[in-house]
Structure 1
Amino acid sequence: MLLLLLHRSSLEASHRFHNLLRNGASLAVTSRSYADVRGKILAIRREDQSVWERRAPLSPTNVRKLVRAGVKVLVQPSNRRAYPMQAYANAGAIIQEDIGEAPVIVGVKQIPIDFLLPNKTYCFFSHTIKAQEANMPLLDAMLEKNIRLVDYEKMMDENGHRVVAFGKYAGVAGMINILHGLGLRLLALGHHTPFMHIGPAHNYRNSGMARQAVRDAGFEIAIGMLPKSIGPLTFVFTGTGNVSQGAQEIFQDLPHEYVPPDMLQKVANHGATNKIYACEVSRRDHLIRIKGGPFDAKEYDEHPSRYISVFSKKIAPYASVIINGIYWAPNSPKLITIPDAKVLIRSAQSRLPWVQTSLGSPPLPHRLLAICDISADPGGSIEFMNECTTIDNPFCLYDAEQHKDTKSFKGPGILVCSIDNMPTQLPREATDFFGDLLLPHIFDVLQSDATRPFEDHTFTKVIEGAVITSNGKLTKNFEYIQDLRNQRARTKHRIVGDYDAQTKRVLLLGAGYVSAPVVEYLTRSNDVAVYVASALRDEADNLARRFPRTEPLLLNVEERPDLLKEFIDKADVVVSLLPYALHPLVAEQCIASKTNMVTASYLSPAMKELHQRAVDAGISVVNEVGLDPGIDHLLAMECFEEVHQGGGKVKSFVSYCGGLPAPECSDNPLRYRFSWSPRGALLNTVSSGRFLKDGKVVEIPAGGALLEKAEKLDFLPGFAFEGFANRDSLDYVDHYGIPEAATVFRGTIRYSGYSDHILGLIQVGLISQEPHPCLHVGGPDITWRQFMCTLLGITDFNIFYGNLKNQLFERTGRNASRVKAMEDLGLLSEELVVKYGNPIDTISQYLAKRLAFGPTDRDLVVLRHEVDILWPDQRHELRGINLVCYGQSSSAGYSAMARTVGYPAAIATKMVLDGEIQRKGMVLPFIQDIYRPMLKRLKAEGIVADENTSIAVNDKQDPCLEQQIEFGSSALGSEPFEVLKLHKPEVFDNFELSDDIKKSLMVKFQRRSCWPSLITSQVKLELAVCFFLTDAFFIRNKAPVLSLHKSLAPFAVGVVVEGSPTRAVELEDLRRLMSLEFKQSKIPVLPLCAPWTTAQCDARGLPYLIFLSDSTLEQGICGLRSRDTSLQEQVHVSDVVERLKKFLVQ
């Protein structure tokens, strides 16, 4: 309460100061006397920047004071001004169109270039001090016309505080607008609220009328008219300046309570709904020094790059509405970045388990509902706000997942209001307020003569520091603007082309089959230009002719590294569709040029070595965003995220992927066709493989053993598929975040027969990378038949054809099918060999032509994930994820491979361009901020996977019969977890034991001899048993099954649902949301359902059980049972988490 009173007293003081200004006391602050300005001429120009602009820099009252001081005031006629022309005429001004005789001209907003008069002094908001691109032509025109510009924004006192501003009324209008928008947004989400009766600011004659509407809404809120399903509403105000104070002045007409930032989370989760919570956030609350130490305001002002902001993690997750009114400098940390926004709209942050919802009273999709960015700084502290809204269209809905705005209140996203001229919605009050502040300084500005040198004037510090241009150049304080422009020119105006400054330039290396979808997707955006670089001029020219804003470049990256450097220097991002071996060459240059890069290929060891250098250069190098790798990762991560959020575990992950000809086009010996060089596909067949199966690492040596272990695949019974291992699958255990999986396998799909026939080529020696003398480019001509004889060691090239086939039959392990395949491929023909030095390069070029796709042939992409999931209730789910995509013939459109490789690469590139991907170094698509939006955008392109699932229920209802428990303990050594199994005495029936051993194992229990329970352990048996026995000893447990000590319990809380079937869905939602809140506090939760018993839960070591029932939904009451006391008590759901945290969180 004390803070609130102090705050209000400061506002009252502000009002008293404002009244003093209006009564003329402001004239005393200037050292100029009336005689200094007698005979001077001042012009007030007409505002034409917006149809809504009704403000003026000076009010009629201000003009009257100037006229009395001897100033001749000219006013350009305008019926749009809030104050009519007659009011200015009555004050002594001269109303006339021509204002050329005035050496000083004042206005509010930017002036059209054609209306600028040379050799004048202008005062207005120019919006040029950050080298804003849109206003650089205006700045250039003022330099050219020898205009002296005084920018209101830079008129500051000795403490760096602005002395003239509309800030207060920007805050007032902004607050009214966002309350209006909040009402409409909540209505679109299914909630009528008192905010619906608040209109936009310009609907009211003055702020007093608007405040009455806000008070009326506040009364309804105070008597409980806000829907309970909305939960507590929190408003966050950034900064403590005029903007924030003006906004809070309106806010305080609502029933409210101010809380400090460290209490924001608590009131967001547990606050009341009959008032609104407010939090004023200063720089000290969210700025952290990177190298540690306390916040230093002076250091931050001078070196903002030494600080980072935690606003998006500490403040924004608990804000319903953010009112942003801070000044943002170009090198300052942002409050909310584009990736931050994706996290903020995840639904888990808004759902409160104790808030009752239903179909008619839906929960909010996410906590953060709206942002009023009064600073209206595109790309500034709110990074995704890249374009101001207008009074005509004051709101947009920002969908962070799709990174796009819509002019709607309905749909996913955050409502944004960012009007850059909000004070004009309350034009008279804004004019009065601003004019009273400006008037004292007008006497100083009137001394200006733009034709004389700036140094000849004796301006006050306030005016001197606000002069941006004078005598045809930037003044000393603002020469940095040119540096910013030069820097932007180096990064933006990179590759030559007739495009504007906002155009983003993409350098695409490679113009092959996959390139067309990349170019097509990127050039859908009018602000993107693509430069296609290829060693083949025709390929690049063809692409450039097909798509807008596409330019061809001739480049061989190996032969012309100088051109590669030049092109990369001029690009915003580089997309490499070259062979993977060339990616490190490109990445090296991208690092040197500090240019981002995207590639669809695997992250090779050579690329991994460049990670830290890329981080140091501050660039993102996005890898593995094609099909395989690429879409396979996205689908897998989406599945794993769902499993882990539900408390499940991935026990097995098996994945296959392949690009194939459509079945009707597979009529050749390999059942395969090539759309690009076969070399990579052939090399994979002789590479090694490694994967995890049933907890054991399986290694397959190089040389063709992969194909020998090919297996038949029947997940799509209509296809004759086979599959074999693909590279090293173990790398993806960590990437996918599935250390619990016993099987992790990634493989390649081919039609049956491929592996067998390729093995024949390997056995003969056609897949060898070793140079062969017969294939020397300068050697004599040789036919395929002769070369095959050489490979078989036959010196007589005239050998009888049948004998040659017999020799081949023996070499291939007496496999007639392999011989027939080589014969059908023409490898026994008299056709001359086009030599490339070694067998694999030679056969690759041969097959590329022989098995190329024809003009009417189609291809097919098949991807399959098989995931074995173990849920907490011991259900086994077998989930199959299939992606089947048919392509079009080359004459009709894109191939399936081009679409499934090109579109993901293009989507990732656009995300880099738009700032959605900001991680530095070598980046892989394993994080939500990447794979979620990519999957949504692929769906929009028609690339969608299907899922099927089957459930296997564990018949063993008694988990103690063979109970597997995983837990972690530092006492257990370096192992990530310990696995114990508790076996009931029946297990000894399976052992063949001698009578002596049986006798020694028998124990006394309840006056009779019996078998004991058996404990097995993977790591340290003696230590695990000690923990068990300790628990049993202290609680004097007489049960035949030892209880797990609660310090080792894998789960701390069990949540049991006992409601009626009709409320099952609601109770399940409540249980899931309550579990999420426990997990945020790092308390593991085990969801339970029948036939689990409390005894079995005690045996598992569960310290607490929570029981949810119908009464929980109706009254908020749940049951809480402690294992130590066996007592069950009634607790409100809003208290249970905090209560258990006291006992379970150390």
Structure 2
Amino acid sequence: MFARLVSARAAGASMRPRSFRYYSAAARPVIGVRRETKHKWERRTPVLPEHVEQLKKDGIEVIVQPSNNRIVGDERYRQAGATISEDLSKADVIVGIKEVELAGLIPNKSYLYFSHTHKGQSYNMGMLKDVLDKKIRLMDYELITNDKGQRQVMFGTFAGYSGMLDGLHALGLRLLGKGYGTPFLNVGMAHTYPTLQHAKDTLRDLGKIIEQDGLPQSFGPMVVVFTGTGNVSRGAQEVFQCLPHEYVKPSELQQLVESKTWSNKKIYATVVDVADHCVRKDAPDAVFDFAHYLANPDQYKSVFADKIAPYATMLVTGHYWDTPFPRLLTTEQAKRLYPTWKKNNRMITIADISCDIRGGLEFMSHAAKIDDPWFMYDPLTGSEHKDPDGEGVQIMSVDILPSELPLESSKYFGDKLLPYLKQMAKQEFEAPVLKRATIAADGALEPRHAWLEGKLPSAITAAGEVKSPAAASAKRVVVLGSGFVAGPLVDYLLRDPHVHITLASNNVAEATALAATRDTSRIHVAEIEVSPTTVNDHLKSVLSTGDVIVSLVPATLHVPIAKECIARGKHMVTASYISKDMASLHADAQQAGVTIMNEVGLDPGIDHLTAKQFIDEVHAHGGQIEGFVSWCGGLPAPENSGNPLGYKFSWSPRGVLLAALNSAIYRMDGKEVTIPSERLLLSARDVNIYKGFALEGLPNRDSLSYIDQYELNRDHLKTMFRGTLRYKGYSHLVFQFRLLGLLATDALTGIDRAQAAELSWPALLGRLLSVKNPTRDTLEPAIALRTGLLPTSPDLRDLLDAMSWLGMFDQSATAFPAGSIASAATGPAALDATCARLQSMLVYEEGERDMVAMHHEFTVRTRAGKSAQHTATLITYGDPVPTGATAMAKTVGIPAAIAAEMLLQGKMTRRGVLAPMHRDIYEPMLNVLTKEGVQFVEKARDL
């Protein structure tokens, strides 16, 4: 029935004039080439300098966004005749590889990229709606086909090349884990080779070793099973064929393995097509009818588990799979077969080039990273780990494999694309190939994609009315707070077209501005006031509308909100630490069947997820953690740290400064150390993560409380330390501020809010330092006296210079600007003024960016008694202001959003007041964060 409906947008498609033009008024057509921003490993480009030269010959201008990561540098493009510019607004057509973030889509342009929308992929429906709202022509590489429906521009072959190399690399490590050194140990990941030819030459050299020495006899015939017959499979086989090999039919595998005639000086291979493993349920012996299979997939089953899987040493997947069709291997089949695989040394490694998560291989749970390309899956327990010596099947599952051969894949891709680029530049969008590639134009979906209307955040009924696509299944989230981290959280949640958000804030202008740039049909703004002790009736009514409440307000306000959530049966998410008062609500939350999920931001948050995953893996293999040190900090990028504190605010300054008032306790080298609040800032130490960073660190609160939460053995644990990172000099300067009273939280005596509004900064300093006529000349001696610094001390000069830079001696500088006093229940405090001043001065200017640094150090003793140090380091940068979100906003907001999503989807079933310390919570969160680009660099060394 739906296929016969014509949506308002789709109907518009047939009424567009054929002469409609998506280009500027410039005399020459212009093509823009985007910088790739989705993933650090994405170094490919659809247009190389040699293609720029050819386009220029045809009178086509090219603008290229600058990139430090693209496989070809900006200067090469400039030499080829391209203009290097951040601004692509002059381009008629804009091309890239991966999806464009919503903020980056320019209205009324023509875009070409892998949009991942034409199958109705839910995670990109928000982007598709934005395309329609901005009247963008969207074309997709996957839809550039010839008249026979064959794709013309693709990377599949290069996925096969890289996937085979990465798979052989993984196989070498797995065989070593089983005690066998083989030539596969000398196969590198695809990105380690300068060219594909170099990789092939290496394999041919290794093949000579195999022909001479053979492979381990105990592994029987080494059999590689390829699935699929398309470009992916052919690319993988092209690489494989550099090794000594022999092909057999799938039907011959059993005879080969059970015979005594095979040779260990070559590798056997077979190619499995759908006809080789899919049979009709009612007539297994019937001749395979592909047309019938496509029309009736539910009438078929796969016999791969019994006919092919028992004989494979390595499985290389290159086939296409979709939901209605039989899986290659189910989780239950893998569990049943694993004892036989283990006994016979079969199914050692899977190179899942197709990388269909929970797809053709039901147990393949997540895409791996190029710098961490495989994991172990134990079919008997359903668990995953990273020990190549341990139980299970090794799975290589990188999903951006062509990125490992960026130059050659870009060359191949660009050569294929060039004729179509010329057509697009000349506005020949009605040409058959470009017409087939178009998903949307002029605010309307193309007729053959009209069904996607029902997948959009708002759907069109037969009567032409707009209604929610999930009226019966809408999921409602109340987000309390609209500040620094709200944007990425809201954007993530809105990817699900069923989610509706109430953005509740005491700053309506801020919340309205945030909502206005997003899908306003699914965001409602509500004005609220939050008290540290009570929840008023209006806020209660707002909370009642949500299925999940996400609290981004200051941590001191969480507890009354949590009590109200428990009373109303609402789940709640915060990124804050679990306070004693919050922990006391655990039993009540459990009894109410409510989850109060805390500590799911950056720190606390991502630090817990990654630390707990590593610790649990060590324990699972009989090892012990003898030391754990974790550092984390949100900082300006080094090039943007040029101020006295070396700091800028990408989140609440109050939270930053209050952290300097905490006491701390930790264990170091077997001794417990307590740092009182007044000594915290004096305890800073140098932290050497990378030589390029001048970092210092402070202990962070109670590190010892995490010994039990991380399930560490106190008898073995010598060091337990969690700390906060800053650039050198920060702690000493803030300590001086504290001595001056600038961090005091008590209300100033004898001054009300109205009087505070008239107080200048020198006047405030005068009150704090008992100076009657405060000017710089009279304040400086008092500052020296209060801090104990000699008048000739360089430290005093640095302090005075910093205060001057911050405007604290400026008679015209207001100490308490409007909105700076934290609570209506108290009078003005010096901390309010300091927060307001720092927030106004230490801001990110246009083009600047922030940085998040996290670093774990684990000291491990293995079951065999060996000691090693493992490190995991995350350095991630925000988008340049004002083009996107800060690194801090992303790394706090997105984990919180993932936790909220898990609660909405029923994937988080534990109840009570929780932190993310359980595998069923941290593992799925980490899997999603990996896809979001949160990636650690891991290293290890023996001690």
The TM-score with structure 2 as length reference comes to 0.52
Maintained 8 Å contact 2:666/2:673: yes
Contact 2:493 2:499 in 1 (8 A): yes
Q: 2:250 touches 2:308 (CA, 8 Å); kept in 1?
A: no
What does residue 908 of structure 2 align with?
917
CA distance in 2, matches of 1:220, 1:947: 36
| Equivalent residue number for residue 310 of structure 2 | 227
Against the structure 1 CA distance between its residues 698 and 319, is the aligned structure 2 distance closer, same or farther, given a 3 Å change threshold?
Answer: same
Distance (Å, rounded) in 1 between the aligned partners of 2:602 and 2:868:
26
**Alignment check: 8 A CA contact 2:573 2:596 kept:** yes
Deviates more, 1:589-598 or 1:824-833: 824-833
Which AA in structure 2 matches 1:906? A
How far residue 926 of structure 1 moved from its aligned partner, in angstroms, is 1.2
Residue in structure 2 matched with residue 545 of structure 1 by the alignment = 516
1:819 to 795, 800, 824: 800
Identity among equivalent positions (%) equals 34
Alignment counterpart, residue 567 of structure 1, candidates 542, 561, 566:
542
Counterpart pick for 1:795 among 767, 772, 789? 772
Cross-structure match for 2:917: 926
Deviations 1:458-483 (A, max 9, x none): xxxxxxxxxxxxxxxxxxxxxxxxxx
Q: Which amino acid aligns with 1:747?
A: G
Query: 1:654 and 1:202, CA in 2 relative to 1: closer, same or farther beyond 3 A?
Result: same
**Per-residue Cα deviation, 1:240-293 (whole angstroms, up to 9, x for no partner):** xxxxxxxxxxxxxxxxxxxxxxxxxxxxxxxxxxxxxxxxxxxxxxxxxxxxxx
C-alpha distance in structure 1 between counterparts of 2:927 and 2:303, whole Å: 43
Match of 1:686 among 654, 657, 661: 661
* Amino acid of the structure 2 residue aligned with 1:820: D
**Counterpart residue number, 1:1102:** none
Aligned partners of 2:893 and 2:561: how far apart in 1? 19
Distance 1:793 1:226, change over 3 A: closer
In structure 1, stretches of 5+ residues that fail to align are 1-47, 51-184, 207-216, 231-317, 322-344, 367-383, 386-394, 404-410, 415-495, 953-1146
- Per-residue CA deviation, residues 363-412 of structure 1 (Å, 9 max, x unaligned), is 7999xxxxxxxxxxxxxxxxx99xxxxxxxxx976568469xxxxxxx99
CA distance in 2, matches of 1:949, 1:413: 24
Aligned to 2:926: 935
How big is the shift at 1:546? 2.4
Structure 1 residues 814-859: Cα deviation after superposition (integer angstroms, max 9, x where no partner): 1322233223222222134343411112211221112122233211
CA contact (8 A) 1:351 1:363 kept: no
CA apart distance, 1:576: 1.3
What's the CA shift for 1:584? 1.3
Q: Which residue is 2:476 aligned to?
A: 505
CA distance in 2, matches of 1:869, 1:763: 41
Residue 13 of structure 1: aligned partner: none
CA RMSD of aligned residues (A): 4.2
Alignment partner for residue 355 of structure 1, among 328, 342, 352? Answer: 342
Which residue of 729, 734, 743 corresponds with 2:703?
729
Name the SS for the 2:342 alignment partner: coil
Change (3 A) 1:870 1:671: same
Q: How does 1:986-1005 map to 2 (within 5 A)?
A: none
The match for 2:600 is 625
Pairing of 1:1040-1059 with structure 2 (within 5 A): none
Q: Does 1:869 align with 2:850?
A: no
What pairs with 1:780-859 in structure 2 (closer than 5 Å)?
A: 781-797=758-774, 801-814=776-789, 815-816=795-796, 817-835=798-816, 836=821, 837-859=828-850
1:562 & 1:497 partners in 2: Cα distance? 28
Q: Quick one: structure 1 residues 829 and 357, their matched pair in 2 at CA, closer, same or farther if it must change by over 3 Å?
A: farther
Q: How does 1:707-1106 map to 2 (within 5 A)?
A: 707-739=681-713, 740-773=716-749, 775-779=751-755, 781-797=758-774, 801-814=776-789, 815-816=795-796, 817-835=798-816, 836=821, 837-952=828-943
Q: Tell me the alpha carbon deviations over residues 214-251 of structure 1, each in whole angstroms, 9 at most, x when there is no partner.
A: xxx999999x9983789xxxxxxxxxxxxxxxxxxxxx
Secondary structure in structure 2 of the residue aligned to 1:778:
helix
Given that 1:229 and 1:356 are in contact with CA atoms closer than 8 Å, whether structure 2 keeps it comes out as no
**Superposed CA offset, 1:940-970 (max 9, x none):** 1111110122212xxxxxxxxxxxxxxxxxx
- CA drift at 1:793: 2.3
Taking the TM superposition and a 5 Å limit, the aligned residue runs for 1:275-424 are 320=332, 351-352=338-339, 355-358=342-345, 361-362=347-348, 398=362, 401=365
Structure 2 distance, partners of 1:885, 1:567, is 35
* Structure 2 residue corresponding to 1:648, chosen from 615, 618, 623: 623
Deviations for 1:182-210, whole angstroms, at most 9, x for unmatched residues?
xxx9979998799966623366899xxxx
The amino acid across from 1:684 in the alignment is A
Unaligned runs of at least 5 residues, structure 2: 4-224, 234-248, 255-274, 287-300, 314-329, 368-375, 380-466, 790-794, 822-827
Equivalents in 1 of 2:303, 2:583: separation in Å? 61
* Counterpart secondary structure, 2:755: coil
Given residue 355 of structure 1, which amino acid in structure 2 is its aligned partner? K
Task: Give the 3-state SS of the residue equivalent to 1:723 in structure 2.
Answer: strand
Write out per-residue CA displacement over residues 633-674 of structure 1, whole angstroms, 9 at most, x where no aligned residue: 111112212322232211111111010111222121211111
Taking the aligned partners of 1:755 and 1:552, their CA distance within structure 2 comes to 41
Is the contact between residue 612 and residue 710 of structure 2 (CA under 8 Å) also seen in structure 1? yes
Distance in 2, matches of 1:220 and 1:682, equals 61
Deviation at 1:543, TM superposition (A): 2.8
Q: Are the aligned partners of 2:740 and 2:787 in contact in 1 as well (CA < 8 Å)?
A: yes
Q: List per-residue Cα deviations over 1:659-712 (Å, max 9, x = no partner).
A: 011122212121111133311211111210011112222111112x11101001
Selected match of 2:527 from 539, 546, 555: 555
Q: 1:898: how far off?
A: 0.9
- Superposition pairs of residues 579-590 of structure 1, within 5 angstroms: 579-590=554-565
In the alignment, the residues of structure 2 paired with residue 564 and residue 631 of structure 1 have an alpha-carbon distance, to the nearest angstrom, of: 30
Partner residue in 2 for 1:1033: none
Q: Is the 8 A contact 1:191 1:361 kept in 2?
A: no
Do the aligned partners of residues 542 and 829 (structure 1) sit closer, same or farther apart at CA in structure 2, a change above 3 Å counting? closer
Give me the whole-angstrom Cα distance separating, in 2, the residues matched to 1:868 and 1:593: 45
The residue identity in structure 2 corresponding to 1:628 is: D
Q: How much has 1:889 moved relative to structure 2?
A: 2.5
Q: Which has the larger radius of gyration?
A: 1
Question: In the aligned structure 1, how far is the partner of 2:667 from the partner of 2:914?
Answer: 25
Separation in 2, partners of 1:220, 1:522: 38
> Are residue 674 (structure 1) and residue 649 (structure 2) matched?
yes
Say if 1:634 and 1:931, in contact at 8 Å, map to a contact too. Answer: yes
Preserved CA contact (<8 Å) 2:469 2:497: no
Residue 779 (structure 1) shift: 2.6
Q: TM-score, normalised by structure 1?
A: 0.43
- Aligned amino acid, residue 332 of structure 2: S
Q: 1:652 to 1:500 in 2, by over 3 A?
A: same
Quote the offset at 1:503 in angstroms.
Answer: 2.0
Cα drift, residue 357 of structure 1: 4.7
Higher relative contact order (CA 8 A, sep 6+): 2
For residue 551 of structure 2, what is the aligned residue in structure 1?
576
> Which residue, out of 571, 574, 577, partners 1:596?
571
Distance 1:365 1:396 in 2: 13
Match of 1:1055 in 2: none
Give distance in 1, aligned partners of 2:662 and 2:360: 53
Q: Helix, strand or coil: the match of 2:666?
A: strand
Q: Counterpart of 2:147?
A: none
Q: Is the 8 A contact 1:229 1:363 kept in 2?
A: no
Give the superposition deviation at 1:806: 2.8
Q: Do the aligned residues in 1 keep the contact of 2:666 with 2:721 (CA within 8 Å)?
A: yes
Q: C-alpha distance in 2, partners of 1:917/1:400?
A: 20
Aligned mates of 1:514, 1:833 — CA distance in 2: 27
